[in-house]
């Protein structure tokens, strides 16, 4: 691919990502004004909407981040409609996400073979070999749904590890 084609591809990816990633996915107020960072070996998609795919062929995963929200995977697919993200699907071994829900709350980290974000319902689903760390409580299971707004968790075949409370002298 010549330099001009690479530049066109990078510009198209940046424009698509700004158009579809930015609305509604941020947790912290400053996330909305944070730059969008994309690391991928390849991109396939359209500025008109529909599916766009980011892939990484090397040891490091494809990564899309804006502020505190980070999604990583071997492949990340973004579905947009009318200029807004409808869903994001990341697959990997494992795929990972993290987000800080509020400035006074710790970062939430999760992983699974597949991560699905449904922006309409604000539901993040982790599937297969799942681990979610929320406030030092670790959830492992087959499937966990995490509501980005309410921080409510629902899961299947879940094992929880709750650390002991610090004793007061």
Q: What is the mean pLDDT of residues 33-49?
A: 81
The pTM for the full model equals 0.78
Confidence at residue 141, expressed as pLDDT on a 0 to 100 scale:
95
Q: Which two tokens stand for residue 55?
A: 């892939």
Confidence at residue 2, expressed as pLDDT on a 0 to 100 scale:
37
Confidence at residue 31, expressed as pLDDT on a 0 to 100 scale:
73
Whether 56 has a pLDDT exceeding 60, the answer reads: yes
Whether 167 has a pLDDT exceeding 90, the answer reads: no
pLDDT-based confidence at residue 6 (cuts at 50, 70, 90)? very low
Structural domains in the chain?
3-161 (2.60.450.10)
Q: If DSSP codes are grouped into helix, strand and coil, which group holds residue 49? A: coil
Q: What is the mean pLDDT of residues 93-110?
A: 90
Burial class (CB in 10 A: 0-12, 13-18, 19+), 119: buried
Q: Which two tokens stand for residue 114?
A: 């597949």
Instruction: List 84's β-bridge partners, or say none.
Output: 81
Q: What is the mean pLDDT of residues 97-103?
A: 87
% of the chain surpassing 70 pLDDT: 82
């Amino acid at each position: 691919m010549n330099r001009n084609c690479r530049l066109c591809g990078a510009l198209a990816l940046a424009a698509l990502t700004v158009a579809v990633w930015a609305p509604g996915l941020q947790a912290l107020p400053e996330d909305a004004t944070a730059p969008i960072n994309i690391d991928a070996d390849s991109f396939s998609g359209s500025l008109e909407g529909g599916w766009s795919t980011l892939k990484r062929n090397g040891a490091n995963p494809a990564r899309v981040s804006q502020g505190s929200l980070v999604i990583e995977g071997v492949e990340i697919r973004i579905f947009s409609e009318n200029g807004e993200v409808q869903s994001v699907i990341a697959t990997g071994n494992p795929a990972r996400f993290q987000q800080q829900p509020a400035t006074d709350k710790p970062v939430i980290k999760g992983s699974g073979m597949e991560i699905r974000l449904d922006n309409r319902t604000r539901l993040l689903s982790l599937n297969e070999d799942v681990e979610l760390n929320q406030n030092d409580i670790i959830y492992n299971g087959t499937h966990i749904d995490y509501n980005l707004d309410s921080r409510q968790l629902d899961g299947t075949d879940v094992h929880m590890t709750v650390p002991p409370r610090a004793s007061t002298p």
